[in-house]
Amino acid sequence: MSKVDKKFLKSLVETPSVTGCETQVASLVRERLASVATYVETDVMGSVHAVLEGAGEAPSVMVAAHMDEVGLMVTYISPEGFLSVSAVGGVDAAILPGMRVDVHTQSGVFRGVVGRKPIHLISPEERKNVTPLHSLVIDLGMSAKKVRSRVRIGDVITYGVGFEELSGGMAVSRGFDDKMGVYVAARVMEEIAQAGGSRGTYSCVGTVQEEIGLRGAQTSAFCVDPDVGIAVDVTHATDYPGIDQSRYGKIVCGKGPVIARGPNVNPVVFERLVAAAEAEGIPYQIEAEPGVTGTDAAVIQTSRSGRACGLVSVAVRYMHTPTEVLSLHDLEATVKLLKRFVLDLDEDVSFVPGV
């Protein structure tokens, strides 16, 4: 990964984008692809559609990744100036006590901490239980008057951490779910453009509000109306202690893109993704998805009269925590895989199963 690309990835994951507040990340995507795409538009939901028109007759492809991240929202300000919050998306209350957070307001970003009684003041029985989210408070270290003048009900809060590289090509950040997918979709467009373009039209779509019900992908799939839709998202790595691989499958960070197989995935798309990986010599993993996936693929597949759909994921450890861990090599391999998939499409391809 080049320094420029790594900087782009870092800016994506560190830019706040709690569900419903994705505008800053959307701006990054528009800025990055303005000189590459044929045109870039943003719909009323806030999703970004960057379109690179094809040069011939081949299926159009939409690669979608959601720009939103999980977080918190201010629901109450106490007379003493402490904030009560609710979760936006799937937040685990067990990880919050003692964490530093950023409260995003019209007056700026304010650092706070998630407070809880110290262990000395917690009874032995209480120590056995997770403190529920409604019992936690956020302390901004300000007077109550200042808090009330700067913070409003409905302001959103992100984990107060960012991107860091670990050893062995691994990295940690909040928001890899799924801004790393936004990175992949944008880089695929750049790679296709550098290769002289594809025969079919390619759309890089950054969707909104995935974490509360796949809402942006539903409207974007209807608007873009692709022949093929590929969702790029994270999936659970199962390569660390405590995960039952016989139940959840063997998914390993650093072993390549994860290609989903199941009813939410068109069988022709699946086989062509596998063929693209093998043609490029890219290691890949297969994940069984026996039902509807919890990704944008679920609504892309059923858009309009139905669309050929695929799901390509990157293995992530500790999903929905401030310390999501992935392999940067897997990101680059996913870009390479999807580029080959798109460039291999021609006018003779049929995605009708069994025909």
Q: Which residues are catalytic?
A: 210
Instruction: Look up tokens 């692809």; give the residue.
Output: 33
Q: Cα torsion at 289, 291, 294, 297 (round to 10°)? A: 80
Q: Where are the beta strands (DSSP E) in 219-334?
A: 228-236, 258-261, 285-288, 308-316, 324-327
DSSP category for residue 82:
P
Rounded to an integer, what distance in angstroms lies between the CA atom of residue 157 and that of residue 140?
12
Tokens of 153: 């009900």
Q: Which one, of 179, 175, 159, lies nearest residue 109 by Cα?
A: 159
CA angle 276, 277, 279 (to 5 degrees): 65
Collapse the DSSP code of 12 into the 3-class scheme (helix H, G, I; strand E, B; otherwise coil) and give the result: helix
DSSP secondary structure string for all residues of 54-72: -SSSS--EEEEEE--B-EE
- Is the CB of residue 257 less than 8 Å from the CB of residue 276? no
Residue 231 buriedness (CB in 10 A; 0-12 / 13-18 / 19+): buried
Residue 54 buriedness (CB in 10 A; 0-12 / 13-18 / 19+): buried
Tokens of 217: 């992908």
Rounded to an integer, what distance in angstroms lies between the CA atom of residue 301 and that of residue 243?
30
Collapse the DSSP code of 260 into the 3-class scheme (helix H, G, I; strand E, B; otherwise coil) and give the result: strand
CA within 13 Å, CB half, 344: 17
Backbone dihedral region for residue 23 (phi beyond 0: left; psi -120 to 50: alpha; all else: beta): alpha
